[in-house]
């Protein structure tokens, strides 16, 4: 009996070791950060071209389509253009009116991107891929170069991830004058998010978490302009994008950087953000935001009238003050 128990214990031990090896060493999805995008595919009439692209998605939330806000006459290039990359599950209005006012004060044309799967329903978000988001970013910057001599990139949360990828890419960074990151996402903070990086996780993790992720909106506009709920598979795509950023070298840029963050962010790991960006090759400025009871209770969407209205005016002032010091 003792011999049987010993063998049983050994089998259990080896099973656990094998399971751990599968989780830690098993394959996880990968993404290449070099987008397959040809600038020449963009039509001469940008507004008409964007409208044609978006007609393929009839369910887009009104007002969140890819679009250009011209500072003056349509089609006239401005010395500076602002390109906005919104956050995961959000839309281009997620920090409104911050980017609108910044662009207006700078006399800049403004481009609102719409990342694949966003501004639509949950299944559409679940069907989007990290590759498509990188491609969307390349498209956004190509449009930015078409509407401005220089491009100021503003990215929120996972949009900040994509803005960083752009700044560190020799092709995508062409004509970028500076980068503003708002609560940039390089690692998710919740401990249970670590399962997204384990081997074969897309297969077994939904059995633990359930097939969907859902949260409680804090307002009607929050419910309207964010996709909720959405398939858990969409989070695996975010995790895949974040893993790919580990190969980036932030020293290989001379672009100016402004980072706005909350030390109390409950969505992204701020300590990791600081360690990842601490050796940024260009001049950098960090601004910690002090949140109020009027603002996002998770301290992640740290500006914009929908989620953190008490921060809107000061955020605009900070970005304009920082931009005024750039040598465009």
Q: How much of the chain, in percent, has pLDDT values that exceed 70?
A: 89
Region 49-324: CATH code? 3.40.50.1820
What DSSP string describes 244-301?
HHTT--TTS----EEEEE-TT-SSB-HHHHHHHHTT-SS-EEEEE----TTS-TTS-S
pLDDT digits (tens, 9 = 90+) for 196-223: 888 777 888 888 878 899 999 999 999 9
Q: Give the Cβ contact number of residue 51 at 10 Å.
A: 13
pLDDT score of 17? 35
pLDDT score of 294? 97
Tokens at 103, concatenated? 């662009």
Q: Residues 6 or more apart from 31 whose CB is under 8 A from it?
A: 129, 130, 131, 134, 240, 241, 243, 244
d(Cα 186, Cα 158) in Å, to the nearest integer?
A: 8
d(Cα 284, Cα 322) in Å, to the nearest integer?
A: 10
d(Cα 120, Cα 115) in Å, to the nearest integer?
A: 10
pLDDT < 50 regions, the chain: 2-26
């Amino acid at each position: 009996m003792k011999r049987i128990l010993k063998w049983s214990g050994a089998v259990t031990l080896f099973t656990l070791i094998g399971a751990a090896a599968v989780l830690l060493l098993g394959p996880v999805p990968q993404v290449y950060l070099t987008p397959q995008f040809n600038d020449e595919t963009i039509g001469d009439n940008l507004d008409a071209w964007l409208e044609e692209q978006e007609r393929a998605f009839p369910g887009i939330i009104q007002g969140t389509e890819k679009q250009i806000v011209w500072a003056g006459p349509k089609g006239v290039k401005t010395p500076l253009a602002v390109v906005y990359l919104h956050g995961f599950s959000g839309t281009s209005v997620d920090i409104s009116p911050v980017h609108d006012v910044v662009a207006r004060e700078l006399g800049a044309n403004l481009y609102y991107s719409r990342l694949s799967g966003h501004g639509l329903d949950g299944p559409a978000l679940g069907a989007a891929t990290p590759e498509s988001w990188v491609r969307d970013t390349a498209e956004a910057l190509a449009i930015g170069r078409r509407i401005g001599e220089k491009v100021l990139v503003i990215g929120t949360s996972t949009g900040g991830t994509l803005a960083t990828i752009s700044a560190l890419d020799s092709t995508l960074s062409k004509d970028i004058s500076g980068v503003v990151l708002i609560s940039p996402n390089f690692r998710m903070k919740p401990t249970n998010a670590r399962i997204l990086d384990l081997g074969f996780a897309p297969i077994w993790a939904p059995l633990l978490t359930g097939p969907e992720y859902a949260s409680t909106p804090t307002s009607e506009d929050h419910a309207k302009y964010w996709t909720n709920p959405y398939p858990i598979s969409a989070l695996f795509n975010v995790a895949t994008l974040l893993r790919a950023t580990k190969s980036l070298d932030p020293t290989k840029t001379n672009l100016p950087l402004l980072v706005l963050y909350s030390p109390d962010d409950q969505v992204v790991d701020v300590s990791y953000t600081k360690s990842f960006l601490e050796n940024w090759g260009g001049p950098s400025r960090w601004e910690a935001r002090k949140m109020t009871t009027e603002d996002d209770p998770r301290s992640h969407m740290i500006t914009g009238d929908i989620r953190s209205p008490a921060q809107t005016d000061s955020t605009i002032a900070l970005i304009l003050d920082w931009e005024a010091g750039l040598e465009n």
